[in-house]
Each structure stands twice: as structure tokens, then as C-alpha cells.
């Protein structure tokens, strides 16, 4: 309890130092509170932009708050553009933890000391982030591996900070004029789930395995192989990858990498993951991407860190195909109708108003050179439009938008002349043909063929059974009708007997009464 109190004091101190209270209070339902605060805290220098102050505050509060800022930067449907842009600059700048703690974690999780498990184990970590850190090692068969170890005590730290965030979110929702629309408690709840998912490294290993299988025959992307015998929820061991970080542009050029091809390959990899597989790496910032320098795989992308992935179901793909097709044909009315039909826009939304707003977002891009078009910026404007019309933004599409922004920014850094639309359009047109055209029908029939192959031989027997049941049902119906007729006759006979018996008894009683009357 005492530690929680001191943690709260630190949060309050950092909040006041960077003027985060001023950012929050600017939207209060009681504006005079802000004036009072400014008078009391007159000594503070709040000349820096609010987004920069918020970013620095989160960095000072530590890794969990840095992660929270990173998640907020993806929710551009909720955050003002200037704050979202600044938060996107947040990086995990976390000191490594004691190697002895990492060794203890490995021993606890895998049941043996690293010196017994591996031929060699490097004590000094090569990378450190808020959730885990990485050590290089060599298996006893000579294969080089990377060992990812969960940071000790993370669950308790996360639970304590999340509890404080929930309290702050409740205050914001109550006091802030825009609080209910921004749903701060739901955002914190989403972040809580996201963090606890990252605490299970087996989930990350499974994501990597799926992505590796999807690109098994590709000459574009390399994904490290997981060594499952050495994996647990707090330790995973994977193939060590050799390459140059993609952010080191000069080293890539000196190595002879074709930068134009590299940028185009990045776009192709992204759209392949999204539209072919419906399963995409959703944390593709430069720190998680290398470029292979080995002769046999030279120039290929290497993906790392699979804690965050996005998935799209058939409904999402159908929604995207309709929207992309409508965009290419400039059919903005169809875009508006697709949003309303999907239920993401309220049913009472006027189609013509939403159509006009979408047109205002998209029409200007068609009259500019393709190289000047930013796919990501178009999506950002669409998200801002969706906020105005209370469109319910789906989490998987927010991840998609965030990843597309990363890819586009990375691609333009590698090749300033990158034409994202020119690179993506043939892929998208081919994919849409496969989804809604004749090729799509053939592929779907082929995919369903294994199921149908079991059903077709059974059709004669099933048809015979159905006809037999129908015949039996008709026979049963005849029997039932006959029984009903017999029941009707029986009921009629019973009524006759009852009426006759009642009349007979009544007659006897009346005769007895008359007989006695005449006798007396």
C-alpha cells in the first residue's frame, strides 16, 4: 500500500511538472478550474507543445506508461492529431536488468541452468525493452539462437500501474467534457489486455510460427524459427537472424542493397499479409526489422518481435474489398453505404452526408501526381471523418491503419520516390478479382472441395433416407388421422351413452315422484 502511495505521488509530480493537468483540464466541464490552476502554478514553463510534454512525461514515468503512449498513438480515431503524432515517437528506452535475474528466470522456466542447456550463453543482453530482453546463445548442435527472457516482476508492476490508470480514466470520464466519447476506461481496459497478452511469450512464439509458415516459400520475408523444446511463457528461444537494421540507410547502401526494390518489397509484404493471409505483423517499426546480408538471402526483410499481430476475418476482407473497389471507381456513395450496411456507422446516418464527407477526403488525391499521394494520410482523414459521424472504428482496422503508416513512412525513408499506390494497386486489383470475380468463385469452390468430396458420395443415401422419412411421415399422418377419427367416434358414442343414461335416470326419478304422488 505504501509503495502504491509513493507511486501515485511520483505520477502527480510528473503530471504537474509537464503540465499534463493543464492538457486534461482544458476540456473540463468547469472552465474556471483551469484558470484557477494557471494562477496557482504560475511558475511552470509550458511553452513546449502539449504533445511533446505528454511524451516526455510518459517516458519519465517508465516502461508501462511508454507502452500506454504507444498504444494511444495507434488510436488516431480518439486522439487529437498533434498528440497522436508526438506519441508515435515513443520508443522503449529501458535499461537492461541484471543478467543473473535472466539466468534465474531461464532456470525456473526451463528447469536447468543456461550453461547446461546451451553450448554457450552470452551474459550481456543485446537488446532490452519494457517487457523482455534478449541474449545470444549457441545450442549444443552448433546452431545460433536468440533467447528472449521476460522481465521479472512485470505482472505486479503492470497490475499496479493499470489500477492507477483506471482511477485516472474514471476521473476523466466524469470531469472531462469529451470524456464519455473518448471512452478512457475502455481504452485502459484494451491496454490491460494487450499488456497481459505480451506477458505470455508462448503467444509471441505461436505468432512467429504462423507468420513463418505463411511465408515459407517466399523470397521476400524471413521469420526466425522457434525452438519449441526451449520455449515457455516466460522464455522463448528462436533462430538467430543476421542482418542490418533497416533504419541504418547508409550501411544498407554500402552493402549494395537495392533501396528502391527494398521499399517496394516492404509494400508487397504488407499487402500479402493483410489480403492473402488476413494475419499481419502489426508492430513493424524500424527496431523490429532487419535486412539480410547473407549471400543466399541477401536483401530480404527479416521480421522480429511478434507480440502484436492483427487478424482480419472474411467479413473484414469483404468490407475492405468493397471499399477499395469503390475508391478506385470513385464511387463514394458505395463507400458510405458499405459503412452503414456493416453496422459501423449508425443506421440513421444520412448516406448523402457521409458520401459528401468521404468525397472531400478522397477526391483531392486523384488530381495529384501519384508520388505525392499518402495512403496513410488519406486513412487518417477518413478516421477523422468517422469520428464526426460516430463511426465505430474496429480495433483490427486501427492496427491495420497504424501498420500501413509505419510501412509507408519506412518505404519513403528508403526511397523518397516510392509510389505506394502504383506499387499496391496491381496487387489490390488482383486480390479484388480473386475475391469478387470468377477467379474468386473458383478459388472458393476449390477451398470447399474437400468438404464436398465427403458429401457427394453420400447424396444418394441421404436422398433415400429423406424420401423414406417423408413416406414414413405420410404413413404416420394417415395413422394419426385414423386414430383421430376413431377418437371422434368414441367421443360421440360416449356422449350418446351419457345423454341416454342421464335421460333414463331422470325419467325414473320423475316416474318415482309421480307414482308416490298418486298413491298418496
- Is 282 within any annotated ligand binding site? no
- Is 127 within any annotated ligand binding site? yes
Identify the CA nearest to 197 among candidates 184, 207, 183: 207
Are 218 and 271 in contact, with CB atoms under 8 Å apart?
no
- Is 205 within any annotated ligand binding site? no
According to DSSP, residue 176 is labeled: B
Q: Integer distance in angstroms from the first to the last C-alpha of the chain?
A: 109
Annotation marks residue 318 as catalytic = no
Q: Which residues pair with 226 in a beta bridge?
A: 238
Identify the CA nearest to 65 among candidates 167, 164, 142: 164
Helix (H), strand (E) at residue 137:
strand 132-138
Tell the residue number behind the cell numbers 304422488, with chain if given: 517
Are 292 and 190 in contact, with CB atoms under 8 Å apart?
no
Are 227 and 270 in contact, with CB atoms under 8 Å apart?
no
Are 19 and 44 in contact, with CB atoms under 8 Å apart?
yes
Catalytic residue chosen out of the listed positions 283, 305, 316, 419? 283
Cα distance between residue 53 and residue 453, in whole Å: 63
Looking only at the bridges linking them, the beta strands covering 144-150 and 127-128 are unpaired
What is the sign, positive or negative, of the torsion defined by CA atoms of 292, 298, 301, 307?
negative
Looking only at the bridges linking them, the beta strands covering 243-245 and 289-292 are antiparallel
Cα distance between residue 181 and residue 404, in whole Å: 26
Cα distance between residue 92 and residue 292, in whole Å: 24
- Is 317 within any annotated ligand binding site? no
Identify the CA nearest to 78 among candidates 27, 25, 17, 18: 27
Cα distance between residue 435 and residue 449, in whole Å: 17
In this structure, what C-alpha cell is assigned to residue 360?
A: 472531400
How far from 212 is each of 1, 215, 269, 517, CA to CA, in Å?
Answer: 45, 5, 13, 112
Looking only at the bridges linking them, the beta strands covering 221-222 and 127-128 are unpaired
Q: What is the CA radius of gyration of the chain?
A: 35
DSSP-H helix ranges across 229-343: 249-254, 259-271, 314-328, 332-341
- Is 131 within any annotated ligand binding site? yes
- Is 351 within any annotated ligand binding site? no
- Is 274 within any annotated ligand binding site? no
- Is 23 within any annotated ligand binding site? no
- Is 511 within any annotated ligand binding site? no
- Is 482 within any annotated ligand binding site? no
The annotation places the binding site for ATP at 126-134, 148
Catalytic residue positions? 283
The annotation places the binding site at 126-134, 148
Amino acid at each position: 500500500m505504501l509503495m502504491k502511495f509513493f507511486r501515485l505521488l511520483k505520477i502527480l509530480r510528473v503530471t504537474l511538472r509537464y503540465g499534463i493537468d493543464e492538457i486534461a483540464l482544458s476540456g473540463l466541464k468547469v472552465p474556471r478550474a483551469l484558470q484557477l490552476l494557471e494562477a496557482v502554478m504560475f511558475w511552470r514553463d509550458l511553452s513546449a507543445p502539449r504533445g511533446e510534454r505528454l511524451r516526455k512525461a510518459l517516458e519519465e514515468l517508465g516502461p508501462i506508461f511508454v507502452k500506454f503512449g504507444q498504444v494511444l498513438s495507434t488510436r488516431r480515431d480518439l486522439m487529437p492529431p498533434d498528440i497522436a503524432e508526438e506519441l508515435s515517437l515513443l520508443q522503449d528506452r529501458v535499461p537492461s536488468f541484471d543478467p543473473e535475474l535472466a539466468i534465474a528466470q531461464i532456470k525456473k522456466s526451463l528447469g536447468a541452468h543456461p550453461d547446461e542447456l546451451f553450448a554457450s550463453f552470452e551474459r550481456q543482453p543485446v537488446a532490452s525493452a519494457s517487457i523482455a530482453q534478449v541474449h545470444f546463445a549457441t545450442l549444443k548442435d552448433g546452431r545460433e539462437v536468440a533467447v528472449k527472457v521476460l522481465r521479472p516482476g512485470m505482472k505486479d508492476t503492470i497490475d499496479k500501474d493499470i489500477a492507477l490508470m483506471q482511477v485516472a480514466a474514471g476521473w476523466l470520464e466524469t470531469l472531462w467534457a469529451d470524456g464519455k466519447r473518448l471512452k478512457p476506461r475502455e481504452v485502459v481496459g484494451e491496454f490491460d489486455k494487450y499488456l497481459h497478452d505480451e506477458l505470455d511469450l508462448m503467444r509471441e512464439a505461436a505468432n512467429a510460427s504462423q507468420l513463418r509458415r505463411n511465408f515459407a516459400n517466399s523470397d521476400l520475408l524471413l521469420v526466425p524459427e522457434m525452438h519449441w523444446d526451449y520455449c515457455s511463457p516466460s522464455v522463448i528461444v528462436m533462430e538467430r537472424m543476421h542482418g542490418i537494421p533497416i533504419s541504418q540507410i547508409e550501411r544498407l547502401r554500402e552493402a549494395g542493397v537495392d533501396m528502391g526494390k527494398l521499399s517496394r518489397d516492404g509494400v508487397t509484404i504488407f499487402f500479402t499479409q493483410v489480403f492473402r493471409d488476413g494475419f499481419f505483423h502489426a508492430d513493424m517499426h524500424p527496431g523490429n526489422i532487419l535486412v539480410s546480408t547473407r549471400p543466399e538471402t541477401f536483401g530480404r526483410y527479416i521480421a522480429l518481435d511478434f507480440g502484436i499481430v492483427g487478424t482480419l476475418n472474411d467479413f473484414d476482407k469483404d468490407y475492405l474489398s468493397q471499399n477499395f473497389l469503390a475508391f478506385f471507381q470513385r464511387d463514394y456513395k458505395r463507400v458510405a453505404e458499405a459503412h452503414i450496411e456493416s453496422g459501423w456507422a449508425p443506421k440513421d446516418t444520412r448516406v448523402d452526408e457521409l458520401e459528401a464527407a468521404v468525397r472531400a477526403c478522397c477526391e483531392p488525391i486523384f488530381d495529384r501526381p501519384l508520388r505525392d499521394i499518402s495512403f496513410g494520410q488519406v486513412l487518417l482523414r477518413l478516421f477523422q471523418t468517422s469520428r464526426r459521424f460516430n463511426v465505430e472504428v474496429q480495433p483490427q482496422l486501427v492496427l491495420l491503419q497504424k501498420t500501413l503508416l509505419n510501412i509507408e513512412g519506412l518505404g519513403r525513408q528508403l526511397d523518397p520516390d516510392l509510389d505506394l499506390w502504383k506499387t499496391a494497386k496491381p496487387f489490390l486489383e488482383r486480390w479484388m478479382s480473386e475475391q469478387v470475380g470468377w477467379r474468386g468463385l473458383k478459388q472458393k469452390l476449390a477451398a470447399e472441395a474437400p468438404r464436398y468430396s465427403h458429401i457427394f458420395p453420400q447424396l444418394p443415401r441421404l436422398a433415400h433416407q429423406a424420401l423414406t422419412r417423408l413416406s414414413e411421415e405420410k404413413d404416420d399422418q394417415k395413422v394419426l388421422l385414423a386414430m383421430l377419427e376413431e377418437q371422434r367416434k368414441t367421443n360421440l358414442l360416449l356422449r350418446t351413452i351419457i345423454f341416454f343414461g342421464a335421460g333414463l335416470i331422470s325419467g325414473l326419478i320423475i316416474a318415482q315422484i309421480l307414482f308416490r304422488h298418486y298413491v298418496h
